[in-house]
Structure 1
Amino acid sequence: MNRIFFRFFVLVMLSITAATFVIYLAITRLFGDPLEDIARRQAAAQIFLLEQYVDQAPADEWLTRLNKVREVSKVRLDLVPLIQARKELEPAQMGALDRGEVVLDAASKSFYRRVDLTGHKYIGSEAEVIHAQDLPIDIALALEMEAVRYVIVALALLIPIALWSRSHWQGLQALSKVADDFGAGDLSARAHMAPSASIYPLAERINHMAARIEGLLDAQRNLLHSVSHELRTPIARLEFALELLRGAAGDPALEKRIAAMEGDLSELNTLVGELLSMTRLDSPQSLQREQFELAPALAGCVDSLDPAGPAPLFELAPGLGSMEGDRRLLVRAVCNVMRNAQKYAQSRVALGARRTASGTVEIVVDDDGPGIPATERTRVFEPFYRLDRSRDRATGGFGLGLSIAHKAVGLHGGSIVAGESPLGGARFTITLPG
């Protein structure tokens, strides 16, 4: 919530600040500088004495009244030549001075004003200017008051924004948790919100979507599981019938045909087993976590490989240590990748493993086979996907091994990617959290 609230609050404050500057420029253009108006109000007492007391005196008493004001006021009132005053003023201010107006200089806390435009006050008065200094002008105080107003407005906006953001953020957090749980395999995860919640319509649509996806996946899983189980019975019957037929057969050609049929049945039985394994990998609850040593587990993969294929080269870095997870499932994932590499390798298969500086475990399987095109490296993990079906018939398999490995690694919070091997073939890199 802090990040969204902070960004929204900063946006509002920037908008208010920009609006403040625009208002200031507009008022300055239309009505004059408001800071000068504040300074003029602060110097109003001295301007009033000059205009209503000193200026109202007869010509022979004008200087006398000016001196009296000097005695009782803390403001310095000096007579300076008109030429000197014009040098210290801006061109826009000189016009006001020549018209006999009070020209205020808020920065220096002073003002200028012509003594007389026609020389009626006393001899030479039309060439002199009253320069008042040390006026009680405090623009900083006015700016501080404006800053206080700005802060009060900001706080007044902060409270309702915080309350508004909090209610929205709590709903978004609930939806985020539902998405995380659903993505982790908990298909029953739903968002429970009151109908009065601001994002209740969104939550209802997400719940509807999750229910639809759960229904589809359950139907697919149940169909796959049911079909796989149903296939087991006729397969068993066929195996039994072939066994009886083998015992009764005496023709070598018939026995050869029976052996081929038994091979097909074995392949079909393996496929059913793979399908059942796929259905069991749809949920994290299928994991049986334990602490196990990584190096011996990976070395055990050699027992599942084809003895007639290329012998694998193991390059296990020292200090692999142990990790927590489903040992059987992770070993099977690595073995599936190695069997895939062994099928397509010409003469070399290598398995390497190391623990990175961040603590993650990196397992690499290389081969010197034909490799995998860059455009196909993500699709090879899809169930039943084969790069070359004719070659796959020669090497065996159903396109489920890499898919099972991908699911098994994903259940442990890891990743598996295909790339190009230094040996010239394919490289599969499995990354697992430590």
Structure 2
Amino acid sequence: MNRLFFRFFVLVTLSITVAAFVIYFAISRLFGDPLDDIARRQAAAEIFLLEQYVDKAPADEWLVRLNKVREVSRANLELVPLARARNAVPAHGQAALERGDVVLDAAHKAFFRRVDLAGDRYIGSADEVIHAQNLPIDVGLALEMEALRYAIVALALLIPIALWSRAHWRGLQSLSAVADEFGAGKLSARAKVKPSASIYPLAERINHMAGRIEGLVESQANLLHSVSHELRTPIARLEFALELLRAKAPDGSLEPRIAAMEADLAELNALVGELLGMAKMGARETVARAPFDLALALRDCANSTPGSEPAGSAPAAANRKLHTDIDAALGMIEGDQRLLMRAVSNLLRNAEKYAKSRIILRARRDGSGVEIVVDDDGPGIPDMERDRIFEPFYRLDRSRDRATGGFGLGLSIARKAVELHGGTILADQSALGGARFVIALPAGGLVLRT
């Protein structure tokens, strides 16, 4: 936002500068050089004496008065041939010289003017020109005056623009903060702008959009929560009916069918539990933070996963395939331990389903935060699918499908839990040949302690 307004002010300043040059050249083209006007005012005393004192004298006294002016004036007045004056005067002043006007040469602090057009003053006066030098003309002062004039005009324009832009900048900063909060999951964030503000209509539209989105998300979460709860009752009834059916067939003839139906009910019950978890997770905007030992929590999480073994030890059984490499210097962090460990547990259970013989859980701490990595040696995840696997109910078409169990909600829940702590989670290729999941918890989002 600051960069936007910096560019705006640079553009305005450049526009005013270009406009000043355009105005200067346009006025010079139409009305003459403004510097000549300033120089004419500075040489007004000598011009006045020449026009009002010397030229008013009779023909026989003209040279006498010119000599008197030479005595009292600091300027050097001399008579030069007309041909010499024509060579010294620039092209744009030739016509004025021929008319008998005063032609200023501000750069050399001088002016030219013909003595007489008809030769009445004295013999040969029609072929001579008065050349006044060392006039009190200060071009530097003239340039400073012009610069000051344009600076005043620029300030007169920039100050109102700055005040107007500041009001817009503050309003846009408020909208930017609301957008950041809304994007971070705080769906109740709204822009508070005065009705008199110029961006008030935009803020109202953004608030209306945010309200619609919040309402849709809440409706979806409420529907998901309600449906999940409503499914609990028929599931309980079916479980009770299966028990009754088992009691009606004591010979065990229906046991295979009953076991298959119970497996389906258990799967449905697990799905309802996952749906409830998703609904609760989606309704949360913040987490309750409390300090806990991250290394100890990760070890407990790994020990609760089937097939775990300490780092560096040999597998004691064929089903033991989880290795841990957790840095003891992780220290304490502040966050929701249950949510974070559920995210890690979901990643470990996901790896447990697809790994061939080995899973590694690593955790490291550096200046940027904490990194938790889960590697497996399974079939891996195609590049095109690595972003989509975190979507709810999304499963891969080949090796990672429903036949291996799960409903496509575990990774989605893990991502939501990590994002609530200000972290990120991504999928990549593992050095073991399978999938790698990386959880990055930034130091700015968590209070890290040794």
Class of the TM-score when normalised by the shorter of the 2 chains: 0.7 to 0.9
Q: Is 1:153–2:153 an aligned residue pair?
A: yes
Give the Å deviation of 1:410.
Answer: 1.0
Residue 400 of structure 1 corresponds to which residue in structure 2? Answer: 409
Give the Å deviation of 1:272.
Answer: 1.4
Residue 322 of structure 2 corresponds to which residue in structure 1? Answer: 312
**Aligned-partner Cα distance in 2 for 1:96–1:160:** 44
> For 1:20, what is the secondary structure of its paired residue?
helix
Query: How many pairs does the alignment contain?
Result: 433
Q: Is 1:190–2:190 an aligned residue pair?
A: yes
Q: Which runs of 5+ in 2 are unaligned?
A: 308-317, 444-450
| Range with bigger deviation, 19-28 or 153-162 | 153-162
Give the Å deviation of 1:411.
Answer: 0.8
**Aligned-partner Cα distance in 1 for 2:277–2:398:** 23
**Aligned-partner Cα distance in 2 for 1:227–1:54:** 110
Q: Give 1:423's match in structure 2, choosing from 432, 439, 443.
A: 432
**Aligned-partner Cα distance in 2 for 1:192–1:375:** 41
Residue 332 of structure 2 corresponds to which residue in structure 1? Answer: 322
**Aligned-partner Cα distance in 1 for 2:363–2:343:** 14
Kept in 1: contact 2:427–2:438 (CA 8 A) = yes
**Aligned-partner Cα distance in 2 for 1:237–1:166:** 66
Q: Quick one: structure 1 residues 389 and 370, their matched pair in 2 at CA, closer, same or farther if it must change by over 3 Å?
A: closer
**Aligned-partner Cα distance in 1 for 2:244–2:51:** 131
Kept in 2: contact 1:110–1:132 (CA 8 A) = yes
Residue 19 of structure 1 corresponds to which residue in structure 2? Answer: 19
Letter in 2 for 1:269: N
Q: Is 1:339–2:349 an aligned residue pair?
A: yes
Give the Å deviation of 1:267.
Answer: 1.9
Q: Deviations over 1:46-87 (max 9, x none)?
A: 123233433455666444333211211121224456676566
Letter in 1 for 2:172: L
> For 1:281, what is the secondary structure of its paired residue?
helix
Residue 303 of structure 2 corresponds to which residue in structure 1? Answer: 303
Give the Å deviation of 1:404.
Answer: 0.3
Q: Is 1:410–2:419 an aligned residue pair?
A: yes
**Aligned-partner Cα distance in 2 for 1:153–1:95:** 34
> For 2:396, what is the secondary structure of its paired residue?
coil
Give the Å deviation of 1:11.
Answer: 3.8
> For 1:417, what is the secondary structure of its paired residue?
strand
Residue 281 of structure 2 corresponds to which residue in structure 1? Answer: 281
**Aligned-partner Cα distance in 2 for 1:303–1:260:** 30
| Range with bigger deviation, 382-391 or 93-102 | 93-102
Q: Quick one: structure 1 residues 389 and 286, their matched pair in 2 at CA, closer, same or farther if it must change by over 3 Å?
A: farther
Letter in 2 for 1:275: L
Letter in 1 for 2:352: Q
| Range with bigger deviation, 423-432 or 77-86 | 77-86
Kept in 2: contact 1:112–1:129 (CA 8 A) = yes
Q: Which runs of 5+ in 1 are unaligned?
A: none
> For 2:395, what is the secondary structure of its paired residue?
coil
Residue 388 of structure 1 corresponds to which residue in structure 2? Answer: 397
> For 1:384, what is the secondary structure of its paired residue?
coil
**Aligned-partner Cα distance in 1 for 2:427–2:324:** 19
| Range with bigger deviation, 77-86 or 99-108 | 77-86
Q: Quick one: structure 1 residues 45 and 271, their matched pair in 2 at CA, closer, same or farther if it must change by over 3 Å?
A: same
TM-score w.r.t. the length of structure 2 is 0.83
Kept in 2: contact 1:310–1:346 (CA 8 A) = no
Kept in 2: contact 1:54–1:65 (CA 8 A) = yes
**Aligned-partner Cα distance in 1 for 2:319–2:144:** 84
**Aligned-partner Cα distance in 1 for 2:415–2:19:** 56
Residue 269 of structure 1 corresponds to which residue in structure 2? Answer: 269
Residue 315 of structure 2 corresponds to which residue in structure 1? Answer: none
**Aligned-partner Cα distance in 2 for 1:124–1:368:** 113
| Aligned ranges 1:29-48 → 2 under 5 Å | 29-48=29-48
Give the Å deviation of 1:381.
Answer: 0.8
| Aligned ranges 1:51-70 → 2 under 5 Å | 51-57=51-57, 61-70=61-70
Kept in 2: contact 1:79–1:129 (CA 8 A) = yes
| Range with bigger deviation, 146-155 or 106-115 | 146-155
